[in-house]
């Protein structure tokens, strides 16, 4: 019989092997030199991936093949960004990777914000959590990492409710069981948890030279997305205030 006294048998420390496995070195082809011409890479559209995937590829070549499929319609600079993020999310990576990543964002920030899919902008800010040059950048990026990771976990569970992301829950269906770990409840009508969570991120972006614009850009996207928990609470709040 399974022991359910712990969600993760053996404690949170037991998750370390799974965490380490996802961060194994990407072996294979080298990155371009630090002085690579970014403008030239913008002019090179990505070729379609060869299907089926060839045998005998290195880990980097497999990653490139996957990115070619995901980033069709983009250019070699978008793919280089994807490869840099993939390298830097590992424990070990090419010596030039973090400097090339920082240079790319320093010189091409406007293009990256306007061009990359949101999924890759989120991956970029998460990468800055370990590879930002300043403490302000690393701190802000780490907090953005927590925000988006928890949103992903929550929205994945919400999908099992059968409700689409744009449909708010009915307030009359609320289960009044206590929140876990003795936490106090969140008031849909009067709660200020959203402000305390999001406003400091917006505020601190002003003082983060490398991640500030990226952070505010992502928060603007979050604010415009109609399928987040924040939008659903806003709709519930709006409906409740209009009810007689």
Per-residue pLDDT of the chain (244 residues; tens, 9 = 90+): 456 789 988 899 999 888 887 666 677 677 999 999 999 999 999 999 999 999 999 989 999 999 999 999 999 999 999 999 999 998 889 989 999 999 999 999 999 999 999 999 999 999 999 999 999 999 999 999 999 999 999 999 999 999 999 999 988 888 889 999 999 988 888 889 999 999 999 999 999 999 999 999 999 999 999 999 999 999 998 888 876 6
Question: What 3-state DSSP class applies to 75?
Answer: strand
| Helix, strand, coil in percent for the chain, rounding step 5 | 60, 0, 40
Range of the domain at 66: 27-108
* Cis peptide bond upstream of 52, omega within 30: yes
- Residue from 26, 138, 137, 36 nearest 80 by CA: 36
First-to-last CA distance in the chain? 51
Domain end: 64, 83, 108, which one? Answer: 108
Model confidence, pTM? 0.92
164 and 201 belong to one structural domain: yes
Residue 154 lies in a domain: yes
Say if CB 58 and CB 38 are below 8 A apart. Answer: no
162 and 202 belong to one structural domain: yes
Residue 21 lies in a domain: no
Question: What 3-state DSSP class applies to 243?
Answer: coil
Quote the number of domains for the chain.
2
Residue 144 lies in a domain: yes
Measured CA to CA, the distance from residue 64 to residue 29 in angstroms comes to 10
Residue 175 lies in a domain: no
The encoded tokens of residue 153 equal 């976990």
């Amino acid at each position: 019989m399974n022991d359910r006294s712990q969600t993760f048998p053996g404690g949170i420390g037991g998750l370390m092997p799974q965490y380490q496995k996802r961060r194994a070195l990407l072996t294979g082809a080298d990155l371009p030199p630090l002085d690579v011409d970014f403008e030239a890479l913008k002019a090179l559209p990505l070729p379609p991936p060869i299907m089926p995937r060839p045998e005998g590829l290195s880990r980097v070549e497999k990653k490139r093949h996957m990115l070619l499929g995901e980033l069709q319609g983009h250019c070699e600079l978008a793919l280089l960004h994807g490869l840099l993020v993939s390298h830097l999310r590992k424990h070990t990576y090419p010596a030039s990777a973090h400097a090339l990543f920082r240079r790319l964002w320093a010189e091409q920030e406007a293009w990256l914000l306007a061009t990359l899919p949101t999924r890759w902008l989120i991956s970029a800010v998460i990468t800055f959590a370990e590879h930002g040059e300043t403490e302000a950048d690393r701190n802000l990026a780490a907090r953005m990492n927590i925000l988006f990771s928890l949103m992903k976990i929550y929205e994945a569970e919400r999908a099992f409710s059968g409700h689409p992301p744009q449909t708010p829950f009915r307030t009359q269906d609320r289960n009044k069981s206590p929140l876990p770990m003795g936490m106090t409840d969140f008031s849909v009508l009067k709660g200020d948890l959203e402000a305390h969570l999001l406003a400091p991120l917006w505020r601190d972006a002003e003082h983060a030279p490398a991640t500030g614009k990226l952070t505010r850009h992502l928060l603007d996207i979050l604010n415009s997305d109609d399928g987040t928990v924040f939008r659903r609470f806003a709709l519930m709040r709006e409906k409740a205030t209009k009810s007689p």
